[in-house]
Amino acid sequence: MRLLIVEDEKRLALSLAAGLRAEGFAVDVVHDGLEGLHRAGSEPYDLVVLDIMLPGMNGYRVCGALRAAGNDVPILMLTAKDGEYDEAEGLDTGADDYLTKPFSYVVLLARVRALLRRRGRAASPVLRAGELTVDTAARRVRLAGEEVALTAKEFAVLEQLVTRRGEVVSKAEILEHVWDFAYEGDPNIVEVYVSALRRKLGAGLIRTVRGAGYRLEER
């Protein structure tokens, strides 16, 4: 799952990003409303954490612009304000949930997971490819009925492949969705995780298409 945090309090934004990355999410961070709108409108995010009081463009306008453009990405709005009017305005512009600062990180994580589960139910959270079953909501993988334990990053790579089962998924596409936008490490990290998945799920499940990427086979 790839998340975008749009928050101008840099210490808070980086703290949230570190916590969410530890949970297995890929997280991008921007500190300006205009940049947030551009990034959310041009990149495939699964959820946006959006502050209201932002430079450039406030969160209400960012949210409204995304919804007006037909972008239905789940949005969790953050604000230091408190009051029914602010909450109503945030929800009226199309936000899916609302959290008032200061808040517990545990509560934010629970809200994030709830929004992702809600989105998953709408798009069928259980994906299948032959004997492989991937429950994206419960984050469980079974092969021929037996549960297979995966790390958070292994699950994220597999999720990308099973979502597009039968298609060729490039290394760049996997990097874009599983790792952060600003990732500057070795792109061969994808090969490391694909190798780990092959060891756990069987060598023939993920095919390498030379010069193009990987394809999940249905067996």
Average pLDDT of the segment spanning 45-64: 92
Read off the pLDDT of residues 180-211 as tens digits, 9 standing for 90 and up. 655 666 777 888 889 999 999 988 889 998 88
Average pLDDT of the segment spanning 140-164: 87
pLDDT at 19 over 50: yes
Of the candidate ranges 15-29, 62-76, 117-131, 143-157, the one whose mean pLDDT is the lowest: 117-131
Read off the pLDDT of residues 164-174 as tens digits, 9 standing for 90 and up. 888 888 888 88
Q: What is the pLDDT of residue 4?
A: 95
Taking the whole predicted model, whether its pTM rises above 0.75 is answered as no
Read off the pLDDT of residues 114-147 as tens digits, 9 standing for 90 and up. 888 777 554 556 788 888 888 876 778 999 888 9
For the ranges 82-86, 90-94, 130-134, 135-139, the one whose mean pLDDT is highest: 130-134
Cβ-based neighbours of 216, under 8 Å, separated by 6 or more = 129, 132, 161, 162, 164, 165, 166, 169, 205, 206, 207
Going by pLDDT thresholds of 50, 70 and 90, the confidence category of residue 84 is very low
- 54 versus 98: the higher-pLDDT residue is 54
